[in-house]
Amino acid sequence: MNTALSLSVSNASVLSLPPAPGPRSSAPYLSLVERLSRASVKKHFDAYADVAWDDPDFRIDPADPRWEREPTDPLGSTSWYQALPAKERARIGLAVVAFQMKMGIAFESVLQRGLLELAGTLPNGSPEFRYAYHEVIEEGQHSLMFQEFVNRSGFDAPGMDGVMAWTARRVPKLGRTFPELFFLHVLGGEAPIDHVQRAELRRGDAVHPLQRRLMQIHVTEEARHVCFADRYLEEHVPHLSALRLLRLRTLAPFVLRETAALMLRPPERFCRLLGIPRSVAAEAFGGARYQRLTAEGLRPVRDLCIRAGIVTPGWVPLWRALGIWQTPAEEPALEPIS
């Protein structure tokens, strides 16, 4: 945070045989996957046809106050940020949005490649194959619109590098070798940014109209993507071997925390680029407000992990220690799961 294929058909009549059903796939799960595919056909977006990029209202002005970070935002809550001139607050806010979109492109790339790895393991006739390709196409459109925003922002937003880039090149292979762990990586990135974008959309006209349009498209299609990942885990985790389940339970909180951080916490080089002092970055992205944002963003994934049997009572202290568990009053009841 491996592919060689050979086919041989000796008898043409084999092609007329009905495909064998996928292993360990229940009828309700397959029905849901088919509905998601139909929804992708009925309601999908094009990065250029469905965004009025040249609308005067969509023009990006770095001094527009609508780019400013909210006081509830980890960075926006700092006294350093609030003391800046309005134009500087707006400039930094725009840069943060551009950076998040650039990171979104990197994340979508990991997701697409992992889905293609998963699709390569599926039998003919699998509804999951069709849905995986629908999602790959939709994520490609998201990347196009994110990059177009970055290009128009005037900010040379950096992507992943170093250890992050090294990890990102390896995660997609999990789509073939350990898809349950791959989908935890997926949800660890998608859930927190979905939480942030839905909160932004509730602000209505206070958000720049171009940013609002991109978030509307992204949230609409990501709802399908999150639904598929959720149900995939609920369907497949109960059939894991004891060793694989132990590995998943051990890695889950670390994967979720670090993947969420990629989407929510700008790296040090980004802060240096914008002139954000180290002490301010530590206050903004190491304090209680940031931890609460992370825990709230990951809460749907945590609840899924409870339902799927990834989290049991004995694992809760580890989640707490990593700061991704809600307060006791907000916690759902946990029943021991063998």
The predicted-structure confidence for 89-114, as pLDDT tens digits, reads as follows 999 999 999 999 999 999 999 999 99
Domain ranges of the chain: 25-325
- State residue 327's pLDDT score: 54
pLDDT above 70 for 164: yes
pLDDT above 50 for 4: no
How far is Cα 267 from Cα 158, in angstroms, rounded to an integer? Answer: 10
Q: Residue 186 corresponds to which tokens in the numbers above? A: 């997926």
pLDDT above 50 for 128: yes
Q: What fold, for 25-325?
A: Ribonucleotide Reductase, subunit A (1.10.620)
Q: Which residues contact 278 (CB under 8 A, 6 or more apart)?
A: 268, 271
Confidence band, pLDDT 50/70/90 cuts, at residue 22: very low
- State residue 80's pLDDT score: 96
How far is Cα 312 from Cα 297, in angstroms, rounded to an integer? Answer: 20
Residue in 56, 54, 67, 58 with CA at minimum distance from that of residue 209? 58
Count of other CB atoms within 10 angstroms of residue 79? 8
pLDDT above 90 for 23: no
Q: Where are the alpha helices (DSSP H) in the chain?
A: 27-42, 79-82, 86-119, 127-153, 162-170, 174-177, 179-201, 209-236, 242-264, 268-274, 278-286, 288-308, 316-321
- Are 103 and 262 in contact, with CB atoms under 8 Å apart? yes
- State residue 337's pLDDT score: 38
Q: Residue 212 corresponds to which tokens in the numbers above? A: 């609002």
- State residue 141's pLDDT score: 97
- State residue 335's pLDDT score: 46
In the chain, the N- to C-terminal Cα span, in Å, equals 29
- State residue 10's pLDDT score: 32
- State residue 265's pLDDT score: 87
